[in-house]
Amino acid sequence: MNILADIISATVLFAIPLLLVALGGMFSERSGIINIALDGIMIIGALLGCHTLKWLDPAVTAGNLGSQVAVMIAILVAGVAGIALSLLLAFSAINLRADQTIGGTALNMFAPAFSIVLTWAILGQGQTTMTLPTWVRIVQNNFGKEASGTFGDMLVFKSLYATHFLCIILFAAAVILLYKTKFGLRLRACGEHPQAADSVGINVYKMRYAGVMISGFLGGIGGMSFVFAVGGFQSEVAGYGFLALAVMIFGNWKPWSILGAAFFFSFFRVIGNYASSIPFMPKLSNVEGVTTYLWPSIPYVVTVILLILTSKRSRAPKAEGIPYDKGQR
């Protein structure tokens, strides 16, 4: 039973970064900008979030600052850091009409390198691993209860972080923003037919900036939640930004489908991680490297297969990736 609780809570835990980052990608692409820089945005968010946590650590352990308040500050820093990096993409893609994929690739290369250099500078030469303070996780004590070890207890408190609650709020906000507001309608128009949007007085550049910045915010927070999920930060997010893009494509650029896709992918990732302790998985004990290399490849293989299988019904925003030129109507 315990392994079932483990699998469910881990699936939720890893679905959160995928969901947040994929929603970010959705806002960007719905506005017409391909944001391949999400991987780099996650790294920058995680980097600054982790350093914020480290910086707040003395205050929290001394009892001057509530632990979850500190976590919320770190999450906010991560989101703002993500916005900062996304602005670089927005500038090159919107103002300079540069190739969006190449600009994003540059940022993806910049983020981990910058992260390593900065971490060296702060922690000392050769130090690249950042660990999380123990007070980050929400435990029974936060609610004034004792750990009981029951199934429900294991399920809820095995790995509970502030991002769990934040994710629900952000998802609801994203759905409402995209479908129930004027802003969302305008954003979608810019991704489908920017010329038409412009002709009715919508500022395409502004909307696209907004789309990319929302994706930066969600991407940065997603990076932080990834760190919560794996328990530490080593200047990389294991290609999660790209997996999130695949989740977004698989979710057909729609929030509810993305929610399903995120859980689906996360489930495969968790199966990959727990494969060696799941009874019905083959053991392959005479093969070396199964747990380090074979099972972790499952989510990537599933991604490729699913992308191919679902490509027929996939419908991308029509104007994504095409720079908008005001003079060309």
Partner 1 sequence: MKKSIISILAAVISIVAGLVLGLVVVMATGSDAAISWSCFTAMLTSGFSSMAKLAKVLYQAAPLIMTGLSVGFAFKTGLFNIGAPGQYLMGAFVALVGAIQFQLSWPICIIAAMIAGALWGALPGLAKAYFNVNEVITSIMLNWIGLFIVNISLMNMPKMLPPHWVPSPIKDRTASLKYANPDGIIPKMGMDEFFGSPYINISIIIAILFAVVIYIILNRTTFGYELKACGHNRESARYAGINAKRNIILSMCIAGALSGVGGALYYLSGEADYNILKVLQANGFNGIPVALLATSNPLGIIFSALFISYIQVGGEAMQPHFATEVIDIIVSVIIYLAAFTLLTKGLLSKVIKFNDGKDANAEPKPAEKNTGKENGK
Q: Return residues touching partner 1 (CB under 8 A).
A: 36, 88, 92, 96-99, 101-103, 105-107, 109-110, 112-114, 116-118, 120-121, 125-126, 239, 242, 245-246, 249, 287-290, 292-294, 296-297, 300-301, 303-304, 307-308, 311-312, 325, 328
Q: How many other β-carbons are positioned within 10 Å of the β-carbon of residue 176?
A: 12
Cβ nearer to partner 1, comparing 172 with 287: 287
Nearest to partner 1 of 134, 328 (CB atom) = 328
Q: Kindly state the helix (H) or strand (E) to which residue 24 belongs, with its residue range.
A: helix 2-30
DSSP 114-157: HHHHHHHHHH-TT---EEPPGGGS--GGGGT------HHHHHHH
The minimum distance between CB 245 and partner 1, in angstroms, equals: 6
Closest CB 272 distance from partner 1, rounded Å: 10
Minimum gap (Å) between residue 238 Cβ and partner 1: 9
Distance, CA of 37 to CA of 175 (rounded, Å): 23
| Shortest Cβ 14–partner 1 spacing (Å) | 16
Do 273 and 9 meet the contact criterion of CB atoms below 8 Å apart? no
Kindly state the greatest CA–CA separation across the chain. Answer: 67
Pick between residue 11 and residue 303 the one whose CB is nearest to partner 1. Answer: 303
In the complex, the smallest distance separating the C-beta of residue 152 from partner 1, rounded to whole angstroms, is: 36
Q: Which tokens sit at 323?
A: 């720079």
Q: In terms of CB distance, is 34 or 170 closer to partner 1?
A: 34
C-alpha–C-alpha distance, residues 271 and 249, integer Å: 22
Nearer to partner 1, 182 or 315 (CB): 315
